[in-house]
Chains A and B, each alone.
Chain A
Amino acid sequence: MTDRTRILLLLGPALVLVGGMVLSALGLALLRSLHLFPVVAPDLSAYATVLGSPGFLASLALSVWIATVSTALAAALALALALLLRRGFPGRGMVAVLVQLNLTVPHVVGAIGLLYLVSQSGAFARLAHAAGLIARPGEFPALTHDPYAIGIILTYIWKEVPFITLILLAKLQTLGEGHEQVARSLGATRWQAFRHVLLPQLAPALAAASALVFAFAFGAYEIPLILGAHAPEALPVAAWRAFTDVDLTRRPQAFAISVLVAGLGIALLLLYARLTLPQRGRHAG
């Protein structure tokens, strides 16, 4: 058996399964969004309707806002947490275990937990009442079902800081502290050693993890379902609502949204691949 045959036999089933399902899903969504399947006259009306509707644009803006703010804050906090966990302090092991524990908690649990924590009748509102800060639930700031999607963003930060932190810790472990120590011995301040030596080495891993988080926060359904406002809805909630609408003419619009989101996803995929996959013909770490 040649290597070529062997590779084909080993990889075949996985490729047929994943490739078959992923490419069919993307292809069918594209065809359905163009009214091409089952065969009707192809047209772009679904895209025209979606892109011309204020509701879609508001949902798109909301999802971009949620994904951008969640990713930026989670990345910054994760960088700080990874640097903290690199150093020794009493209780470090405990924090490290909690970081890993959080990673195994499903998002839907985090979202409901956060709802019971920060809603206007939640645990924090009760604490505020006990402290004499508010008299009625309505006086507590709206952090869930609110126009700024603060509850949604808090859930993503809660879930994704540990995710990015663990990726950074793995990277820090392979890097070691040699380069920084050389920089310090050559007269660099601690800030300079971090800014000009460590950060550039961490940047690809941080960017790759951030791309994953952005894509997830942009496209996840259950968190905005639980914590989001009625209008505008986050894009995945709006797309699912259009998809399950009794008015079947809205289905092509739902497919059009999913194709537009897939376009963004493919751009993020290529960025992620650039950052993590070894380039052909040159060695990358």
Chain B
Amino acid sequence: MRAETWRLLAGVLVALALVLPLVPLAIWSGAHGWRYPDLLPQQWSGKAWTLALSDRGGVVESLGLTLTIAIATTALAALVGVPAGRALGLYDFRGKRLILLLLLAPAILPGIALVLGLHDLFLRLGLVGTTGGVILAHLVPVLPYMTLVMAAVFAGFDTRIEAQARSLGAGPLRTFATVTLPVILPGLLTGALFAFLVSWSQYLLTLAIGGGRVQTLPLVLYSYAAAGRNDVAGAIALIYILPGLAILLFTASRVTGRGFGAVLRP
């Protein structure tokens, strides 16, 4: 066989493996009972979707809460992370390595290493069990991420265009809004979308700091799966992956392989 045929075959296998775990979730979400050893459900029904999309299931409420937390976390991270990224991208200074190390720590330290100590800290601050506490805690993985993406953006930024705007009489705010922002916007947008996903995917951090009272989508998903409601779990899982799908389709057109490398997390 020709090399290209082998590659095609390998490609088909990889594509299949990448999609495979999502298939039973989709089948379960439409199943009216799916008993072993039936290959496919004997009866289909929309009851899992009806429950998931009704007020009773707690899913809609949880979806709103998860969105609120992810959007608030991303906005705060942008507010604090853009200036920090500017400092790291434009300047060389003593202690920069140490700061980079500190920013990399939340991405590399295993979750369980930080979560118990954070719970203790937030308990002392009276923030355990509050949505605000969860947002603040999500900044631990999200803010460093945003900062490092913005540092990469600012590393390729030419400050002379700002100086020109200033010399032509623009104030600092106007210079930022009309000169700086348009240049960094594509990077900021990509960074923000993936920062959103980092918050969106948090599990243990939300469980610990939320103290069981802040029920985001992954926690509700696990509750239904643990209770044996595979059909509702399937429906929630499909709802849960939608934003990622949308973000991917939105960024795929603008993010090339090179740019993607800067925004990756396991």
Contacts and interface: CB of A to CB of B under 8 A. Distances in A.
Interface of A: 3-4, 6-7, 9-11, 13-15, 17-19, 21-22, 24-29, 32, 81, 84, 87-92, 94-95, 97-110, 112-117, 121-123, 125-127, 129-130, 137, 155, 158-160, 162-163, 166-167, 169-171, 173-174, 211-213, 215-216, 218-222, 225-226, 235-236, 239-240, 243, 254-255, 257-259, 261-262, 264-266, 268-270, 272-273, 277, 280
Interface string B109-122: 11111111111110
Q: Can you list the 10 inter-chain pairs with the closest CB atoms, starting with the nearest?
A: A219-B110, A104-B244, A170-B261, A25-B117, A113-B21, A29-B117, A14-B84, A116-B24, A10-B87, A262-B113
Contacts of B114: 22, 25-26, 258, 262
17 contacts: A6-B91, A11-B99, A13-B84, A14-B81, A19-B102, A29-B113, A89-B7, A89-B8, A91-B15, A112-B221, A158-B21, A159-B266, A215-B108, A220-B204, A221-B111, A221-B203, A266-B105
Contact of B110 (A29, A97, A265): A265
Given A10-B86, A236-B204, A277-B100, A100 B260 contact: yes
Interface string B233-261: 11001001100110110001000011011
Contacts of B99: 11, 15
Given A84-B11, A91-B15, A117-B24, A22 B264 contact: no
Most central of A90, A116, A259 by chain B CB within 10 Å: A116
Interface residues of B, number: 91
Interface stretch (B50-58, B137-145, B182-190): B137-145
Given A110-B21, A160-B266, A170-B260, A29 B116 contact: yes
Contacts, number: 306
Residue among A19, A88, A254, A258 with the highest chain B CB neighbour number at 10 A: A258
B46 interface: no
B163 interface: no
Nearest to B256: A173
Interface centre among A104, A130, A221 (most CB of B within 10 A): A104
Given A117-B24, A130-B39, A265-B109, A14 B83 contact: yes
